Amino acid sequence: MRGVPLIPTLLVGLAVAAMIALGFWQLDRRAQKESALAVFAANTMQPTITIESGAADASLLFRHARSACQSVTRWARQGGRGVQGLQGWRQIATCRTHADATLLVDMGVTRDPMFRPHWPGGVVSGTLTRAPDHRPLIAGIFDSAPQPLMLVSDQAAPGLEPSAPPDIASVPNNHLAYAVQWFLFAGVAIIIYVLALRLRARGAPEPRIR
């Protein structure tokens, strides 16, 4: 019988170890996500708070809040859905607050992509969510900086329908499935390699290069 090849066995062993480590990492991420979801659910029952900026604070997600928009410095559009089901463009205002800080406010949805809101600012209240992430996919993977918060206003600006408030059910928690996948990948790799070693031990002829 031929001996077990060292380098291929080492490579397969390292690959399997990495897959198993990724599986346990996903299990850890699942526990973290479950804790975060519990905080989000509790936030929906908390009283309204006053905020001055959209600083990234994940502990405030899904909490009802109010703020004073002193002035709108710019508007941006983002695809979204209204509270009545209208599919269109969310109109997101960049507000300057009392503390001379910046806060993003979703002021409602319209079907018209060329709509220009006429809202000078004022006191707004709504639900806190994460601001839209416009970073490229690769940049988002390697950039661990949390996204700033955005207030989804309960009252729409003139000519708009209020945007649908953020829903906790939309927060994905697929880490258990990902963990199972990594463990399965590791098991399949082991089985395939063991079968390859058995064929090699039986003296299976190697393919000739013509």
- So where are the chain's domains? 46-170
pLDDT at residue 55, rounded to an integer: 86
Sheet holding 49-50, edge to edge: 49-50, 64-69, 122-130, 149-153, 102-110, 87-96, 71-81
Backbone angles phi, psi at 79, to 5 degrees: -60, 140
What pLDDT is attached to residue 132?
A: 86
C-alpha distances out from residue 198 to 2, 186, 201, 204, Å: 10, 19, 5, 9
Question: Global pTM?
Answer: 0.77
Note whether 179 and 30 are within 8 A (CB): yes
Per the DSSP assignment, residues forming a β-bridge with 50 are 66
User: 94 by DSSP, 3-state: which?
Assistant: strand
3-state DSSP helix/strand/coil % of the chain, to nearest 5: 35, 25, 35
Under CATH, which number does the domain 46-170 receive? 2.40.50
Longest dimension (CA), the chain: 83
Which pLDDT belongs to residue 140?
A: 47
* 206: three-class secondary structure by DSSP: coil
- Give me the tens of pLDDT residue by residue for the chain, a chain 210 residues long: 456 788 889 999 999 999 999 999 999 999 999 999 999 999 999 999 999 888 878 889 999 999 999 999 999 999 999 999 899 999 999 999 987 889 999 999 999 989 999 999 999 999 999 988 766 655 444 555 678 899 999 999 999 999 999 999 888 889 999 999 999 999 999 999 999 888 888 775 554 544
95 closest CA partner among 122, 66, 132, 60: 122
Assigned token pair, 192: 């395939």
C-beta separation of 123 from 66 below 8 A = yes
Q: What sign does the CA torsion over 177, 183, 18, 32 have?
A: positive
Pairing of strands 149-153, 122-130: antiparallel
pLDDT number for residue 205: 55
Which segments of the chain are extended strands (E)?
Answer: 49-50, 64-69, 71-81, 87-96, 102-110, 122-130, 149-153
Instruction: Round to whole Å and give the CA distance between 120 and 86.
Output: 24
